[in-house]
Amino acid sequence: MRRWRLCPGSLVHLLRCMLLRLCPKRQGCRLPLWMSKPQAYLKLLLQSLFYNTLTDSDVVFESLFEPLLWIVDYLTRWFGLVFVWMVVILTSSILLVAYFVLLPNALRTYTTAWLIWHLCYGHWNLVMIVFHYYKAVKTAPGYPPSEKNDIPFVSVCKKCVIPKPARTHHCSICNRCILKMDHHCPWLNNCVGHLNHRYFFSFCVSMTLGCIYCSVNGRTDFLAAYYALEHFKHLEVQRAGVRVTGMGPLIGLLPTGQTDYVTPAPPYTFKQRIMDKSIIYFWVLTSTVAVVLGALTTWHALLISRGETSIEMHTNSKERSRMKKMGQVYKNPFNYGKLQNWKVFLGVEKRSHWFTRVLLPSAHSPLGDGLTWDSFPIKKEPIPV
């Protein structure tokens, strides 16, 4: 008599047959409708994060933090006008101190030749600051055409859904594509692009030079005002009957009835205190801006020398690393050489333009239309000056 053995394979086969009998279709049991719809939606949502093979961590990060980025963009767009007014108010306050506090003192103490130099340079610097800041704020950075055209493009903007020419990027704050976009500047409440990049850089240079000029020439007045305020505070403490040592603590009171035969100091009026505090404010603000804005201006000068924008610096760095791993060398296609890069950026087409377009206010348009660019290598100089 044979004995039937129950092996694991037959048990699995038996369970499979039972499931097929319970389920009318061979694909298996379906979930109820109230569960299948949320499951399908979650599956579609998960797959949308990986919509193509070019998706990387940056795309996933941007998708997950889209609400936070939207709030930041909205606040930056709203506060842009506030930042512009801050620049106007702070610059105006510096001018008030210079004209009504420092200039009268200079008229009394400076020689005629030195005074003429300060008046000429100071007003030239002021005109350059006001002109370039106004043009940087009011000039549109340049936008690619939205209608159909034959201009070559490198990609299609996934937000604007329009062709993007070379060096064009989408600004999430302005909510449109910008030609040769460098960055969005909240202090301008405007994007820095092809048409106003020169105005932005010239404003930075002019403001840095003006702040250095004010800081260097106002140092003597700042020290005099600072020591005058410190001396006034010391006299106020003495009048209250308190003896103060240099860096030590309060050690005692003067005895009652003691008389100090000290020559009385000249009166320190309220007007003089306000003027001295204004000079201190003038020197601290201009010195701080000179350091911070000077560093930013130097950085942009290096980018211009390399023929790059702030955005292209990051993309070129990634491309450089990628090609280095492949044993190749990456060359920026828009780098024509340091001197030629400056000529293209400043719009210098002949020798006289170094004076009329660089050292004097000029509203000339940049070279090219921002839609097409000559690529590296270039055998001849774009601008033979």
Which residue, chain included where needed, has tokens 């101190």?
97
Strand, coil or helix: 239: helix
Can you give 142-161 as a three-state secondary structure string? CCCCCCCCCCCCCEECCCCC
First-residue to last-residue Cα distance in the chain: 110
185 is annotated as an active-site residue: yes
Sign of dihedral through CA atoms 294, 142, 54, 42? positive
**H/E element holding 275?**
helix 270-305
Collapsing DSSP to helix, strand or coil, 170 comes out as strand
Between CA 173 and CA 312 the distance in angstroms is: 19
Could you tell me if 370 and 328 are in contact, meaning their C-beta atoms sit under 8 angstroms apart?
Answer: no
Single out the catalytic residue among 185, 191, 204, 211.
185
Distance CA(274)–CA(297), nearest Å, equals 33
* Residues 176 and 184 sit within 8 Å (Cβ to Cβ): no
Burial of residue 228 (CB within 10 Å: 0-12, 13-18, 19+) is middle
CA–CA distance, 169 with 313 (Å, rounded to integer)? 13
Q: Please give the positions annotated as active site.
A: 185
